[in-house]
Amino acid sequence: MWESHLSSTYSPKPVRAYIPFLTTSVHVWYALDLSRSENYPFCTIDPEEARIPVPDPRFEWLCDLYKPASRIPAFLTCIDIAGLVSGASSGAGLGNAFLSHVRAVDGIFQVVRAFDDAEVIHVEGDVDPLRDMEIIKTELRLKDIEWVQKALENLKKSGRSLGSSSLADKARKEEIATVEKVLKLLTEEKKDARKGDWTNKEIEVVNGLSLLTAKPVTYLVNLSEKDYIRKKNKWLPKIKAWIDTNNPGDPLIPFSVALEQRLMALESPEAKAEEEKAVGATSALGKITHAGYACLDLIRYFTCGPDEVRAWTIRKGTKAPQAAGVIHSDFENKFVCGEIMAYEDLKEYGSESAVKAAGKLRQQGKPYEMIDGDIAYWKAGA
């Protein structure tokens, strides 16, 4: 299986995850520090954006060790867009604007409503998460079909002027064949693009199409607080079966907005922990942000010192110069080397000097591939 985030081209732009929900649930992501969604269909055309810190005990330990003036954890930027309805691919509701926002993100959190509440309206009139999931899957796929058909038409038009024996013509024919394969997957097999089997060369073509269904999806099932605490809901087995049939391998995470809001309202971490113990359930927000991180193939490295301890987000497989470039382009363009130590070594030996004395501080050059948890000090030329 191939997923679009496994692109071979690394970009240091902020990684953005999109949160779609069909049901316009009230305050769906207020618990994640997003602005509150109104209880009206199509209440906004503008996406709400928030940077969500990714919990990491390694980061907390490093802050305790260095006691820095500034602490900056890893973040996942989440975009909250309400208003998807059946027919969105043809412009219904806020369809066109809605789907254009989705195209700009790296991954999707799909919020699935599985609770009843007369005060929280549903654009379809009643609660049916399987129908909602089918609507979102269909609308994204239909928009991709429209997009791919236009791309294929343009490719065939531009290909007519090429000579049959030229290298450019051969490459164009291969590109057309790949786009036709994508179209067949979407139309005949009715599968998302990320569920196709692609060669490395085909991946480059599919990445270039920026398809909605190529983006990795994590399903977040919004339960009532009661159902979340008792770990039981009539819809959960059906939702899991739907995912296994339609998008096998995509993660599913149950959570409760109602509980998350109550926990967020508490004034201290101690009060939150006490309430979690009292109700017998913990917040799912850490699990959700980690899932978003994982499905996008992201890792972290750290820079540490008395002024600042900071976690930097990079793609798995990123080389040292590109990792340094996330901080500043000069660090990549004028890269000399990096002094790297593993988080595990620092924790074992207790100090940088002890790590160095043990021969665990390594000088790495341009070919070095970063490992999750590396602690780096970069050297760049003038």
Euclidean distance between CA atoms 328 and 138, whole angstroms: 41
pTM of the complete model: 0.81
Q: How far is CA 130 from the centre of its chain?
A: 22
Residue 161: predicted pLDDT: 62
Question: Structural domain of residue 336, as residue ranges?
Answer: 317-380
Euclidean distance between CA atoms 31 and 285, whole angstroms: 8
Euclidean distance between CA atoms 255 and 21, whole angstroms: 14
Residue 89: predicted pLDDT: 54
Whole-Å CA distances, 201 to 198, 208, 212, 215, 297: 8, 11, 20, 18, 20
Burial bucket for residue 257 (CB in 10 Å: 0-12, 13-18, 19+): buried
Residue 123: predicted pLDDT: 57
Give me the residues of the chain with pLDDT under 70, please: 1-47, 81-98, 117-125, 159-165
Assess whether 19 and 165 both reside in one domain: yes
Assess whether 328 and 263 both reside in one domain: no
The answer to whether 114 touches 235, Cβ cutoff 8 Å, is yes
Assess whether 365 and 276 both reside in one domain: no
Mark which of 245, 265, 295 sits at the end of a domain: 295
Residue 8: predicted pLDDT: 28
Identify the CA nearest to 52 among candidates 262, 247, 260.
260
Does residue 273 form part of some domain? Answer: yes
- Strand, helix or coil at 221? strand
- We report the CATH number of the domain holding residue 339 as 3.10.20.30
Assess whether 77 and 216 both reside in one domain: yes
Residue 46: predicted pLDDT: 62
Beta strands (DSSP E) in the chain are: 16-21, 48-53, 70-72, 75-82, 107-113, 217-222, 252-255, 298-303, 308-315, 335-342, 362-364, 374-380
Packing angle of the helix pair 167-187, 129-159 (nearest 10 deg): 160
Which H helix or E strand runs over 120? none
Assess whether 236 and 352 both reside in one domain: no
Assess whether 125 and 81 both reside in one domain: yes
Does residue 305 form part of some domain? Answer: no
The answer to whether 230 touches 280, Cβ cutoff 8 Å, is no
Euclidean distance between CA atoms 146 and 101, whole angstroms: 16
Assess whether 213 and 342 both reside in one domain: no
Residue 26: predicted pLDDT: 31
Overall residue count recorded for the chain in this entry:
382
Residue 100: predicted pLDDT: 75
Assess whether 186 and 245 both reside in one domain: yes
Does residue 303 form part of some domain? Answer: no
pLDDT tens sequence across 123-159: 555 789 999 999 989 989 999 999 999 999 999 887 6
Assess whether 247 and 138 both reside in one domain: yes
Assess whether 216 and 327 both reside in one domain: no
What total number of domains does the chain contain? 2
Which tokens in the block code for residue 211? 């398809």
The answer to whether 53 touches 288, Cβ cutoff 8 Å, is no
Euclidean distance between CA atoms 110 and 129, whole angstroms: 11
Contacts by 172-179, CB closer than 8 A, 24 or more apart: 174/201, 175/205, 176/152, 178/202, 178/205, 178/206, 179/148, 179/151, 179/152, 179/155, 179/205, 179/209
Assess whether 290 and 349 both reside in one domain: no
Residue 104: predicted pLDDT: 79
Residue 98: predicted pLDDT: 66
> What type of residue sits at position 238?
K
Does residue 310 form part of some domain? Answer: no
Does residue 306 form part of some domain? Answer: no
Assess whether 283 and 344 both reside in one domain: no
Which tokens in the block code for residue 317? 């497989």
Does residue 312 form part of some domain? Answer: no
- We report the CATH number of the domain holding residue 81 as 3.40.50.300
Does residue 125 form part of some domain? Answer: yes
Does residue 307 form part of some domain? Answer: no
